[in-house]
């Protein structure tokens, strides 16, 4: 076998009982061929000649080889330990020694392992990988949402002051109301999201890859800038047409709240379109988004809340226009997701 130039890759030792063929098959079926790791399969009963190197190639795209003396270790390969041999590694090559224990795992395996799994049901291992990737994805979605929604909050708080004699848009009570939506969305909605369809088809992350890189920060901030621009547009157009300060503030706040809800929904999945996201069940979305809409309706119609939020009662047509403006803030991201799905571009 031709030797590889790179030795900087993990070697994963997979152990199973004498009846573990089905587990090996299920494991390999779910593992991508470009994982960047070398997989070594060690049977519990190692005194009988194995035929795994003949069976397993039917269930994986990775080459499957029976280990021989001084065989070069390569990533994206599956290696089978031969019978009556203990396995060692030296200078990137396999070394074989006479068997030390006819049954059970040899001492060298446990001594060399950083982690010893007591459960040899490999569907559980695949499930753990799937769960880990889902948690990783959902944390990134939550981070992306936090970046996206705080850009317009900062901009709408500062720009009226920086631009001169413009009425303030966001008061402390508005920020509190927004945070009552933002905090549960981060901690409950995204945590409860199901995994993406392609979650087990992705190659593994590089060890040096940042958790939330510059590209994801850029896309999240672009979402926030879109919300800021459209909310400011509603605000400035309202002033231009002579609406009162309280009316303009109410219109801008409606646009911001609807934009916030739209960003929550679109960030639930970075691959599915908004229509599929909406029909995908998530009880937390119903409670948090439904609650936000319900309390916003109370604020816009009850005199006490209108005074508290420094609003003025709006006509239904103005509410509808502001809501539609809020929904349009996610159009560009939905188009990007559609393009990414077709071109298989990773966010």
Q: What is the DSSP letter of 213?
A: -
Which pLDDT belongs to residue 338? 82
Name the stretches of the chain with pLDDT < 50.
1-5, 112, 344-345
Query: Could you tell me the residue range of the domain that residue 47 belongs to?
Result: 11-120
- Shared domain for 140 and 71, answered yes or no, is no
Instruction: Give the Cα separation of 147 and 125 in Å (integer).
Output: 33
Query: Per the domain annotation, does 2 fall within a domain?
Result: no
- Shared domain for 134 and 273, answered yes or no, is yes
Q: Where are the alpha helices (DSSP H) in the chain?
A: 21-30, 52-55, 107-112, 122-163, 172-184, 214-240, 245-266, 274-279, 283-301, 303-308, 316-327, 331-343
- Shared domain for 328 and 182, answered yes or no, is yes
- Shared domain for 100 and 240, answered yes or no, is no
Which tokens belong to 172? 């402390």
Q: What is the DSSP letter of 45?
A: B
The CATH number given to whatever domain includes residue 25 is 3.40.50.180
Number of domains the chain contains: 2
- Shared domain for 60 and 112, answered yes or no, is yes
- Asked whether the whole model's pTM tops 0.75, one would answer no
- Shared domain for 64 and 165, answered yes or no, is no
Instruction: Give the Cα separation of 211 and 205 in Å (integer).
Output: 10
For 96-117, give one letter per residue: b (16+ CB within 10 A) or e: beebeeeeeebeebeeeeeeee
Query: Per the domain annotation, does 4 fall within a domain?
Result: no
Query: Per the domain annotation, does 285 fall within a domain?
Result: yes
Query: Per the domain annotation, does 190 fall within a domain?
Result: yes
- Shared domain for 72 and 153, answered yes or no, is no
Q: What is the number of helices (H) and of strands (E) in the chain? A: 12, 6
The string of pLDDT tens digits covering residues 117-163 is 555 556 677 777 888 888 888 898 999 899 999 999 999 999 888 87
DSSP secondary structure letters along 110-149? HHH-S---S---HHHHHHHHHHHHHHHHHHHHHHHHHHHH
Query: Per the domain annotation, does 321 fall within a domain?
Result: yes
Query: Per the domain annotation, does 185 fall within a domain?
Result: yes
If residue 303 lies in a helix (H) or strand (E), which one and from where to where?
helix 303-308
Instruction: Give the Cα separation of 49 and 174 in Å (integer).
Output: 72
Residue carrying structure tokens 């041999």 = 85
- Shared domain for 168 and 59, answered yes or no, is no
Instruction: Give the Cα separation of 260 and 8 in Å (integer).
Output: 44
Residue carrying structure tokens 């599929």 = 276
- Shared domain for 199 and 222, answered yes or no, is yes
Residues 6+ apart with CB under 8 A from 282: 189, 192, 193, 268
The CATH number given to whatever domain includes residue 195 is 1.20.1110.10
Using CA atoms, how far residue 51 sits from 57, 100, 140, 235, in Å, is 11, 22, 43, 73
How many alpha carbons fall within 13 Å on the CB side of residue 50?
28
Closest CA to 39 of 6, 16, 64, 58: 64
Last residue of a domain, one of 67, 86, 120: 120
Query: Per the domain annotation, does 78 fall within a domain?
Result: yes
Last residue of a domain, one of 120, 154, 185: 120
- Shared domain for 249 and 287, answered yes or no, is yes
Which pLDDT belongs to residue 310? 93
Last residue of a domain, one of 120, 148, 173: 120
- Cβ pair 123, 28 in contact under 8 A: no
What's the maximum distance between 2 C-alpha atoms anywhere in the chain?
A: 91
Give first-to-last CA distance, the chain, whole Å: 37
Residue carrying structure tokens 């945070």 = 179
- Shared domain for 116 and 167, answered yes or no, is no
Query: Per the domain annotation, does 270 fall within a domain?
Result: yes
Q: Any bridge partners for residue 2, and if so which?
A: none
Residue 286: exposure state from Cβ atoms within 10 A (0-12, 13-18, ≥19): exposed
Polymer length of the chain: 347
- Shared domain for 328 and 185, answered yes or no, is yes
Q: Is 197 helix (H, G, I), strand (E, B) or coil?
A: coil
């Amino acid at each position: 076998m031709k030797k590889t130039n790179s030795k900087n890759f993990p070697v994963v030792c997979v152990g199973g009982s004498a009846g573990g063929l089905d587990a090996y098959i299920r494991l390999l079926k779910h593992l991508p061929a470009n994982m960047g790791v070398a997989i070594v399969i060690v049977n519990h009963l190692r005194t009988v000649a194995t035929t795994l190197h003949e069976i397993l190639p039917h269930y994986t795209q990775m080459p499957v080889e029976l280990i021989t003396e001084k065989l070069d270790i390569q990533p994206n390969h599956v290696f089978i330990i031969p019978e009556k041999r203990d396995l060692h590694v030296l200078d990137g090559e396999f070394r074989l020694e006479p068997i030390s224990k006819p049954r059970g795992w040899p001492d060298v395996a446990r001594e060399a392992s950083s982690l010893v799994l007591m459960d040899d049901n490999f569907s559980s291992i695949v499930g753990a990988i799937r769960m880990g990737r889902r948690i990783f994805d959902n944390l990134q979605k939550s981070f992306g949402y936090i970046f996206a929604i705080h850009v317009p909050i900062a901009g709408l708080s500062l720009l009226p002051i920086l631009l001169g004699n413009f009425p303030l848009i966001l008061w402390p009570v508005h920020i509190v109301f927004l945070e009552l939506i933002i905090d549960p969305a981060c901690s409950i909605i995204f945590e409860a999201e199901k995994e993406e369809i392609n979650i087990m088809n992705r190659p593994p992350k590089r060890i040096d890859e940042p958790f939330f890189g510059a590209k994801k920060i850029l896309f999240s901030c672009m979402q926030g800038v879109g919300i800021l621009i459209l909310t400011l547009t509603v605000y400035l157009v309202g002033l231009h047409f002579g609406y009162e300060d309280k009316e303009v503030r109410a219109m801008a706040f409606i646009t911001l709240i609807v934009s916030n809800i739209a960003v929550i929904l679109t960030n639930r999945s970075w691959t599915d379109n908004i229509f599929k996201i909406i029909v995908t069940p998530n009880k937390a979305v119903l409670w948090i988004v439904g609650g936000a809409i319900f309390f916003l309706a109370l604020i816009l119609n009850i005199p006490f809340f209108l005074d508290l939020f420094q609003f003025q009662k709006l006509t239904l047509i103005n509410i509808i226009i502001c809501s539609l403006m809020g929904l349009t803030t996610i159009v560009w991201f939905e188009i990007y997701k559609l393009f990414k799905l077709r071109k298989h571009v990773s966010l």
